[in-house]
Structure 1
């Protein structure tokens, strides 16, 4: 039952009583929906809120305990943000607003608030939403309980938390019977994309299943801990690199045997970082830092492997920080040191120039020319790829805008990161840039790198549909390198496939590469998909490629990526003819 509001309420009495009656009426009409949720999350304090009016009903004791103005509060977040501990506010805001916006249906968090005496207390907060007939958030039902202290068990995985990991490691550092101590941190590869392309709840399910698999794989004397994000930690006592590697490989072996989630096939791999030192020559802070550096190096250099701390790892980390610094400096200085190079694409049969691919280059003030394979992941990890990607699009279409007056069929290809496309502002911003520059969309192709994109084909399909609705063609780059190439073709309509250059490198010696390209061409022609073959560098390769009936060719034989000035010098006059 929902209790009646306190008759002594002093704040906006008439409005509060009116809202109280509305909530009680709403709850009464829908009690059969509310009751199962109340039963499910039955705790100390039950809160019911009308999301559409942002009016919430609290039990009598809670306002008295933490200083809310009354039992019925409009826009309670304005009050909560004043009492939630500053270190927990971001977590509280994300979880609460995520429910209200309908981004997910359930949350379960712990956070600190100040009570009326100014003392910090821990609250455990579970919430669920009910949606209306249109699927929009309607009612929020929450249960709040006061914790005597913060629990040290992770709610999702039921593993001990970071605080226990820290405490247990420090205890072992004091144990003189232990000669060396090791730390291994295991992380889920591409976990951010799993959350983005599925949902946070889906990611939580992956973590829960993975925790079970790792625990099952570990020796009985080793504990598993849930650290921050997608990381799991183990403590190795008097161990060796060989023993640590054996443990990691055993986890990988068990992971291969188990399908993480039954409802969707998902390819989950894990990377690990490990550091082992003499117990009396290391601190917790140092070994944790070194282990994290090793994990990051593992993910950067291929993923799905274990890396042990070394001088190479340390030097790489220093370079990492410096490159990040110089990238930010370049962007803040109006994209100083960035440059766009252009590589020609030609007709496979006539060798006539049909377009260019725009390729981003960056020359670091300290390290000189840095490979896109190194600096683009930095841009993606930090979110800077969004602003750089917009700059590349705008600069490219400005450069080629006048060319189209002479050669109206010219096609311009621009690479787009999956991280960019996951940003809801990306496509509207692209549309605005194109319209402001009056650039014809029929001349534009957006290339999506297959190997870095696909964790959820449904999401990719939706993104491509929005782009194609604008009249822009989609090319699938690096085709053949990812695990899901043919699954994508089955579900997603693309306008062009760009076969990776690795299939050209051994074309003259390896019959498989020839057969593979023929196969892709035959399938593509049935569905009116163009095929571009990258990496053609020699005349002998060109002769073979022409017999394979591909549509377009791109490679050093017809031109390397070149600066704006070189592109004008070599190609503009030819087009003018």
Structure 2
């Protein structure tokens, strides 16, 4: 069994470690001579290590002192680099190698991968047996905070600069090139780099403040200003749009650039840089995909106080890092359309806080879904829902547990591997799992969606297409992706007794499902009259307040346990 830091003999080993003059001096010498790199020192026989406090803080490791540090660290390494790393560490511990030297990408506590190089050697004890493995890890995000293409500060520099300080008083803008992928494909990689350099130089010339311009991911650039109001930035953006659409010279080529942009003013001292960037990306996404490039100022229609909203989102984001503090799941039953007997359950995320009370998921999910840390919350939802519902399978062996996916999860290279790992950890039957693809997930590449649905479908995991008909991509997904269940949103149901258009739409979807032999679940059933009306068409399942509101785990057990 893998040891953990909480094992009973950990404290004594730490004490021994600290009292061992040789180990302590070695670690201190390494720390002094490492020149900014992280230091690690491992007792091979006990597989007990000490790591630099800076590494613990930057990567979100459990402690300075760790059992099985190699396995803990492996979880932070990019999936594409993990196999080689595993082989290297195995060779150290089985005695076939005495040196370690490789580069890999490792995930920091904010969910971002940074390039690292790791070097280490094995040295012997007084009996000439391998006893200690020691070395350094160099974090290139610290070594290189300058973007190599544009020579601007990069995203690591942005987050480092505002790790312990506030963006208070800044107007923060995000600009990006929406047609860059097309231009890059037509003219090639070298011209693509020239486009980025030309665009960055154009922004620098307009704002005349290189110290407060950062190149973020892809074609996104952030500009910080204390001299410009939101109205000033809006006026500047409109002029930028006209100039760039008319074309700018990239070498000898005159190329039109189409841009998107977003902006917010930070008047709160407690809002972190990650929260600001996440909110800007949400508004930028709206600019590109919904507003044809119009400038979007971050706001929330449900809350007119923008900075109070930012503080709320900042608290929710920090709650993810704080062991998902305040998050819990509720479960809404799904019933057979003819008998109303329980056939399934949908897991629904909730968040509660002493300051803000119970915050509806629609207030934070669409925005925080764009945050790199959100995939951690998605994994927590999967694991919690499977663990919570597993005891009910004794009474309902065919119960389907529906869990919503976020596109942040789906974008990760190790998504399928991660699902399989969580299923293994919870020992949850794959045939009882149904993964719901939401409207936001449909914006992902079709090939990506097809690949993971095909792999997991072969393992008897089902897929549901949620909110069918609410987005332009519904039929495209239906055409190309393996789907088992269609779910109709309550917006098409609440007025169905009086709305001719809703009747036509729902009836058409019902016929389509019957032809394709999909199950059809209709959400938002709130009255017996609506239920009776919908029973006249092809439908397999109902979900809604007529049968039950979302329940806590305890309430659900009480109502449905046999």
| Coarse TM-score class (shorter-chain normalised) | 0.5 to 0.7
Secondary structure of the 1:559 match is coil
Given that 1:475 and 1:496 are in contact with CA atoms closer than 8 Å, whether structure 2 keeps it comes out as yes
Following superposition, the deviation at residue 443 of structure 1 comes to 1.9
Following superposition, the deviation at residue 295 of structure 1 comes to 6.9
Distance 1:187 1:364, change over 3 A: farther
Following superposition, the deviation at residue 461 of structure 1 comes to 0.5
- Pick which of 301-310 and 421-430 moved more: 301-310
Show the counterpart of 1:303. 286
Map Cα deviations across residues 301-331 of structure 1 (whole Å, 9 max, x no partner). Answer: 68325227999333333333333333433x1
Show the counterpart of 1:340. 329
Distance 1:521 1:224, change over 3 A: farther
Show the counterpart of 1:32. none
Secondary structure of the 1:227 match is strand
CA distance in 2, matches of 1:111, 1:369: 38
Show the counterpart of 2:436. 447
Show the counterpart of 2:512. 523
CA distance in 2, matches of 1:365, 1:522: 48
Following superposition, the deviation at residue 516 of structure 1 comes to 1.9
Following superposition, the deviation at residue 357 of structure 1 comes to 1.0
Q: Given the alignment of the two structures, is residue 185 of structure 1 paired with residue 173 of structure 2, yes or no?
A: yes
Show the counterpart of 1:229. 216
Following superposition, the deviation at residue 297 of structure 1 comes to 4.1
Given that 2:266 and 2:307 are in contact with CA atoms closer than 8 Å, whether structure 1 keeps it comes out as no
Following superposition, the deviation at residue 215 of structure 1 comes to 10
Secondary structure of the 1:401 match is helix
- Pick which of 531-540 and 470-479 moved more: 531-540
CA distance in 2, matches of 1:423, 1:270: 25
Following superposition, the deviation at residue 495 of structure 1 comes to 0.7
Given that 2:523 and 2:543 are in contact with CA atoms closer than 8 Å, whether structure 1 keeps it comes out as yes
CA distance in 1, matches of 2:190, 2:521: 40
Given that 2:171 and 2:266 are in contact with CA atoms closer than 8 Å, whether structure 1 keeps it comes out as yes
Following superposition, the deviation at residue 368 of structure 1 comes to 2.3
Show the counterpart of 1:86. none
Distance 1:492 1:208, change over 3 A: farther
CA distance in 1, matches of 2:245, 2:467: 26
Following superposition, the deviation at residue 493 of structure 1 comes to 1.3
**Structure 2 length as normaliser, TM-score?**
0.55
Given that 1:345 and 1:355 are in contact with CA atoms closer than 8 Å, whether structure 2 keeps it comes out as yes
Given that 2:488 and 2:523 are in contact with CA atoms closer than 8 Å, whether structure 1 keeps it comes out as yes
CA distance in 2, matches of 1:316, 1:452: 25
Show the counterpart of 2:78. none
Show the counterpart of 1:323. 316
- Pick which of 436-445 and 487-496 moved more: 436-445
CA distance in 1, matches of 2:497, 2:505: 13
Distance 1:368 1:242, change over 3 A: closer
Distance 1:462 1:508, change over 3 A: same
CA distance in 1, matches of 2:537, 2:244: 40
**Structure 1 length as normaliser, TM-score?**
0.54
Following superposition, the deviation at residue 542 of structure 1 comes to 2.1
Following superposition, the deviation at residue 416 of structure 1 comes to 2.4
Show the counterpart of 2:393. 404
CA distance in 2, matches of 1:453, 1:271: 23
1:528-539 to structure 2, matched below 5 A, reads 528-539=517-528
Following superposition, the deviation at residue 550 of structure 1 comes to 2.3
Given that 2:279 and 2:367 are in contact with CA atoms closer than 8 Å, whether structure 1 keeps it comes out as no
Distance 1:365 1:490, change over 3 A: same
Map Cα deviations across residues 57-84 of structure 1 (whole Å, 9 max, x no partner). Answer: xxxxxxxxxxxxxxxxxxxx95999xxx
Following superposition, the deviation at residue 557 of structure 1 comes to 1.4
Following superposition, the deviation at residue 568 of structure 1 comes to 1.9
Given that 1:185 and 1:291 are in contact with CA atoms closer than 8 Å, whether structure 2 keeps it comes out as no
Distance 1:272 1:442, change over 3 A: same
Residues paired across the two proteins, number = 393
Following superposition, the deviation at residue 337 of structure 1 comes to 3.6
Root mean square deviation of aligned Cα: 5.3
Given that 2:442 and 2:474 are in contact with CA atoms closer than 8 Å, whether structure 1 keeps it comes out as no
Map Cα deviations across residues 3-33 of structure 1 (whole Å, 9 max, x no partner). Answer: xxxxxxxxxxxxxxxxxxxxxxxxxxxxxxx
Given that 2:172 and 2:225 are in contact with CA atoms closer than 8 Å, whether structure 1 keeps it comes out as yes
Following superposition, the deviation at residue 290 of structure 1 comes to 11
- Pick which of 205-214 and 337-346 moved more: 205-214
Distance 1:242 1:368, change over 3 A: closer
Show the counterpart of 1:272. 262
Given that 1:518 and 1:548 are in contact with CA atoms closer than 8 Å, whether structure 2 keeps it comes out as yes
CA distance in 2, matches of 1:549, 1:567: 28
Where structure 2 has 5 or more consecutive residues not aligned to the other structure, the ranges are 1-83, 85-99, 105-112, 118-139, 155-168, 248-257, 288-294
Show the counterpart of 1:458. 447
Map Cα deviations across residues 371-425 of structure 1 (whole Å, 9 max, x no partner). Answer: 2234546764555444444443344334433433333222221222222233344
Secondary structure of the 1:531 match is strand
Given that 2:275 and 2:314 are in contact with CA atoms closer than 8 Å, whether structure 1 keeps it comes out as no
Distance 1:246 1:379, change over 3 A: closer
